[in-house]
Amino acid sequence: MKHPLYIAIILILTSCTSKIEEQVVTPNGLWQQVGYGKIVEIQDSILRVYDICQTDCHMAFEEEILDFGRILKVSKDSLTIKHNIDHWEFLRIETLPKLCLDTIDLSHNPEYNFETFWHTFDEHYCSFEIKDINWDEVYDEYRPKISGETSDLALFQIFEEMTSLLNDGHVSIDLPDEIEVEYKEVTEPKEKRYSIFDEFQLQQDLANLYVDSLRSYNGGVVRWGSIGEVGYIQFNTMWMMANYGIDPGLGLMETYQLYAEAESHFKDEEQRENEAQGADYIMNTILTELSGAKAFILDLRFNGGGKDCVAMEVINHLSGENRKAFKKYVSYLDTNTAHQEFELNPSANHFSGKVVVLTSRQTASAAEVAVLATLSNPNFIRIGSNTEGIFSSTLDKTLPNLWEYELSNEVYTDLDGNNYENVGVEPDVLIEYSADKDSFMDQLKLAVDSQEDEAIKIALTRLRN
């Protein structure tokens, strides 16, 4: 016969276990993202995303959660998902809004798609004031051009005209497959005098003017070497950093093909994490090989951006102490979300001396985030021209007809609240680089031909004095 006390203990433990099981919270259910105009529906590992604005709600896509981000924490009422360096916040909702349940199919109605497009920008775009754009006037100009009979091609061209007014490198609309042939028949492609291969060759030639034993990683996306006692690091993108074991002797095209194949085996958030780990790996390699350097030049003049997580890894390896770096918030309707602060946290293997950062008008997006992060550290000197001024990560959206587009909705500021969108980060020493890509390339080609690069020359003078 079992002792009554033993039975009582078992009953108590069973009761406690049942209560714990009842209190377990899962992310399954409906969540509204704070500030981004999205609702997500989670069922185990699958996530369904709805785009919503004042006039429309529709399901945009369905994917695995790890393609969207990594769940950090969940409670009864709130959810946090990590995406790149961001922590996205969500609030639980019980049911989809009525707008999302409307059974009237207007997905291919040109007027309805126009209204959704205009309202999405009206609710989320963060730089109308900076760019002196009256979006209501844009509506008044273009809305009369749309009717129920407007063709897909005409609608797309109107959207292109509207977005071109913003002159924002983070605003675009993808050319739909169904009108690609027709569009190309009526559109003159913009010719570029320099290919991506010309650009990569020029980057290498420029570095070779000064650097002994130039080395490279992943087809030349990163190059480094010594200029006497000064280390030189050339970061030409803020992506393609993952270490997938690709032969360092391969050229850019072969490297890219192998990289894309290796990357395809990972979910999107895993890819972003691989990028950050790869940046950590290559910066550790560089700092180990150049351990005798008394100072560094970080050349970001060709860097059009990529992943913010890569940018932060690079600067963390060139920072000697923990310090706040910058802030960001999301613009939504007439309000802003709470500021999210980002810090510099020195890597285990880091350099804490003087660093000169070279910039141009081609230094953009995540590369600008790297430059912005240097403003709080007096060890950094910036030489070149203002950066491009497109900091915001892109807010990816779909129209009811499932055309894909993106816009800027995030505001990055320094610690004093200064916003550099549209104007870029100003250098300490100004060099007048052209904002036009081909003209900028002409300037650098002239430097190679003359065997003297003004930016590197000034940087060496500043670092050696």
Q: Determine the 3-state secondary structure of 322 from DSSP.
A: coil
Which residue has better confidence, 362 or 333? Answer: 362
Number of residues written out for the chain? 465
454 and 355 in a single domain? The answer is yes
pLDDT at residue 103 in the model: 77
Torsion-angle region of residue 217: left (phi > 0), alpha (psi -120 to 50) or beta?
A: beta
131 and 32 in a single domain? The answer is no
Amino acid, single-letter form, for residue 139: Y
pLDDT at residue 24 in the model: 84
Percent of the chain's residues with pLDDT above 90 = 91
347 and 209 in a single domain? The answer is yes
Dump pLDDT digits (tens) for 118-161.
Answer: 999 999 999 999 999 999 999 999 999 999 999 999 999 999 99
pLDDT at residue 190 in the model: 82
pLDDT at residue 88 in the model: 96
Q: Any alpha helices (H) in 24-99, and if so which ranges?
A: 65-68
Q: At what angle do helices 135-142 and 110-124 cross, to 10 degrees?
A: 170
Dump pLDDT digits (tens) for 154-196.
Answer: 999 999 999 999 999 999 999 999 999 999 999 888 888 999 9
Last residue of a domain, one of 69, 101, 133: 101
Give yes or no for a contact between 133 and 125, defined as CB atoms under 8 angstroms apart. Answer: no
How sure is the predictor about 333, in pLDDT bands with cuts at 50, 70 and 90? Answer: confident
180 and 200 in a single domain? The answer is no
User: Under 8 Å CB-to-CB from 91, ≥6 apart: which residues?
Assistant: 31, 32, 34, 77, 78, 79
Whether 33 has a pLDDT exceeding 70, the answer reads yes
Whether 48 has a pLDDT exceeding 50, the answer reads yes
Indicate whether 413 belongs to any domain.
no
9 and 145 in a single domain? The answer is no
Structure tokens given for 337 = 């979300």
Cα–Cα nearest to 244, from 210, 204, 282, 291: 282
Dump pLDDT digits (tens) for 434-451.
Answer: 999 999 999 999 999 999
39 and 56 in a single domain? The answer is yes
* Neighbour count for residue 191 (Cβ, 10 Å): 6
Give yes or no for a contact between 399 and 117, defined as CB atoms under 8 angstroms apart. Answer: yes
pLDDT at residue 18 in the model: 47
CATH of the domain at 346: 3.90.226.10
Structural domain boundaries enclosing 307? 196-389+424-464
Q: What is the largest CA-CA distance in the chain?
A: 99
Q: Which helix (H) or strand (E) is 230 found in, with range?
A: strand 230-235
Last residue of a domain, one of 186, 219, 247: 186
Q: What is the mean pLDDT of the chain?
A: 94
Indicate whether 376 belongs to any domain.
yes
Q: At what angle do helices 135-142 and 152-164 cross, to 10 degrees?
A: 150
Give me the phi and psi of 128, to 5 degrees please. Answer: -60, -45
Indicate whether 401 belongs to any domain.
no
205 and 343 in a single domain? The answer is yes
74 and 218 in a single domain? The answer is no
Q: At what angle do helices 308-316 and 366-374 cross, to 10 degrees?
A: 30
**Cα separations in angstroms, 353 against 22, 370, 450:** 55, 17, 31
DSSP string, 377-441: -TTEEEEES------SPEEEEE-TT--EEEEE-EEEE-TT--B-TTT-PPPSEE----SSHHHHH
291 and 234 in a single domain? The answer is yes
Indicate the number of domains in the chain.
3
pLDDT at residue 104 in the model: 86
308 and 441 in a single domain? The answer is yes
pLDDT at residue 4 in the model: 52
What integer is the mean pLDDT of 450-456?
Answer: 98
Indicate whether 169 belongs to any domain.
yes
Whether 71 has a pLDDT exceeding 60, the answer reads yes
pLDDT at residue 21 in the model: 46
Indicate whether 216 belongs to any domain.
yes
Structure tokens given for 152 = 């897909």
CA distance 208 to 125: 42
Indicate whether 404 belongs to any domain.
no
Structure tokens given for 110 = 């040109």
Amino acid, single-letter form, for residue 321: E
CA distance 29 to 70: 16
DSSP 353: S
Residue with tokens 């020359």: 457
Cα–Cα nearest to 81, from 72, 68, 91: 72
pLDDT at residue 3 in the model: 55
CA distance 460 to 293: 13
CA distance 337 to 358: 33
What integer is the mean pLDDT of 4-22?
Answer: 51
Indicate whether 14 belongs to any domain.
yes
Amino acid, single-letter form, for residue 114: F
Q: How far apart are the first and last CA of the chain?
A: 90
This prediction has a pTM of 0.92
336 and 456 in a single domain? The answer is yes
Cα–Cα nearest to 32, from 7, 15, 14, 57: 57
- The angle formed by the CA atoms of residues 349, 353 and 359, to the nearest 5 degrees, is 100
Indicate whether 43 belongs to any domain.
yes
Percent of the chain's residues with pLDDT above 70 = 95
Structure tokens given for 267 = 């979910």
Instruction: Calculate the CA dihedral of residues 300, 173, 116, 402 and round it to 10 degrees.
Output: -120
pLDDT at residue 144 in the model: 98
Give yes or no for a contact between 109 and 130, defined as CB atoms under 8 angstroms apart. Answer: no
312 and 216 in a single domain? The answer is yes
**Cα separations in angstroms, 372 against 157, 170, 235, 376, 383:** 35, 18, 16, 8, 13
Structure tokens given for 92 = 């639980």
